[in-house]
Amino acid sequence: MTMVPKGYRFAVAAAGFKKADRNDLGLILSIGPAVAAGVFTTNRFQAAPVLVCKAQLAESPVARAIVVNSGQANACTGEEGLANCRVTQEIIARAARVQPEEVLPASTGVIGAQLKMDLWEPAALKLAGCLGRATPMDVAKAMMTTDSFPKLVAKSVQLSGGEVRVLGMCKGAGMICPTMATMLGFVICDVDIEPKTWREMLTFCADRSFNALTVDGDTSTNDTVIALANGASRVRADSKADLELLRQCMLEVCQELSYRIVQDAEGGTKVAHITVSGAKSHPQAEAAARAIGNSPLVKTALFGCDPNWGRIVAALGRSGAEFEPDDVVLKIGGILVFEKGQPAPEDLDALLAPVMRHQDVKIELTIGPGRGTFTLLASDLTKRYVEINADYRT
């Protein structure tokens, strides 16, 4: 049984946005006002729901509901798309008996198509009838597109005033390279917390989870993570110790969700844990890790279980990170592969063969004496990924 934070209800409906008889609309409703925070795509083409959410959160740090649909991204749809998004807020607000400005929208699907507005009113009636009878898992399933499984994580943490619960759900399997990645994520909590602190906590956790993974190097137009904290537990978090405990719990939820996104990468068979340390700065370490994780040659080698370490150091060399080649130390699965400008003298193919067959492959690079470090989760690149994305609209 999933440990659900207090004071939330859930609903789903089959609206028929893409396929009939499949739940493709989900609602998360807080029974009272909740502190709200969001992080969003950095893509210059931002979908209508992203623009609406950003404007809403800039106006007020309080919300009551998150509504998410799959099958229609409402991205690159101009003023009509923005107007339609605001109409859906009004439709959902009536069904949930809240104010339109208390509804935060999120969408995923094909870019460019306008929302099928005639389907929203009937779907909202279904949501209203289902409210309180659906589960968080139902909502997680309703927002799936090419995902092969729903992604849901729940944890609790004991603060000085009592127990607080954190639940997260997300979708995403392709078009994933968040600086903020097509991913959507929702985190709900029953803690009582200041809005500014909640925003800072979400940003901290997102930077170390959703912003530290890649499937294919593509950042979507719709990427959104929204976090709500409604205070229903009546447990206040304001001491340094309590805030650190809560932040760690939230980070664990976000990191587990991030792992599942990479694990579910379209056609993926591997999760590479790429850690770069010793860089001159954290941004340089990140640049190095992303160059490796997004390299098609590295990714195809992972798929082929080929310990072709030369592809890794070549990607590092073009990453823009500053280092001396002789300072680089590379380990794969804990096995020393490269140092002082040359490969280790052992039979590396034989040593690395069992390592490369595992689902999880650790790639560790030390590139100097600096303090910069970054860890990235990355998937491999498979024939199935090409098939899925070649057929995405057909």
Active site residues: 182
CB atoms < 10 A from the CB of 334, how many? 8
Decide: 169 and 4 in contact? Cβ < 8 Å: no
The identity of residue 73, as a single letter, is A
Pairing mode of beta strands 162-171, 213-214: unpaired
Cβ density class 247-270: b for 16+ within 10 Å, e for less: bebbbbbbbbbbbbbbbbbbbbeb
Decide: 76 and 112 in contact? Cβ < 8 Å: yes
User: Which residues are CB-contacts of 310 (< 8 A; sequence separation ≥ 6)?
Assistant: none
Q: How far apart are CA 192 and CA 236, in angstroms?
A: 5
DSSP annotation of 45 reads S
Decide: 156 and 163 in contact? Cβ < 8 Å: yes
Decide: 32 and 230 in contact? Cβ < 8 Å: yes
Decide: 299 and 378 in contact? Cβ < 8 Å: yes
Q: Which tokens sit at 46? A: 């931002």
CB atoms < 10 A from the CB of 129, how many? 12
Query: Which residue, among 191, 166, 153, 195, has the nearest Cα to 37 in the 3D structure?
Result: 195
Q: How far apart are CA 141 and CA 12, in angstroms?
A: 9
Burial of 32 (0-12, 13-18, 19+ CB in 10 A): exposed
Query: Which residue, among 211, 163, 165, has the nearest Cα to 185 in the 3D structure?
Result: 211
Distances (CA, A) of 349 to 123, 354, 356: 56, 9, 10
Decide: 98 and 9 in contact? Cβ < 8 Å: no
Query: Which residue, among 3, 35, 7, 38, has the nearest Cα to 205 in the 3D structure?
Result: 38
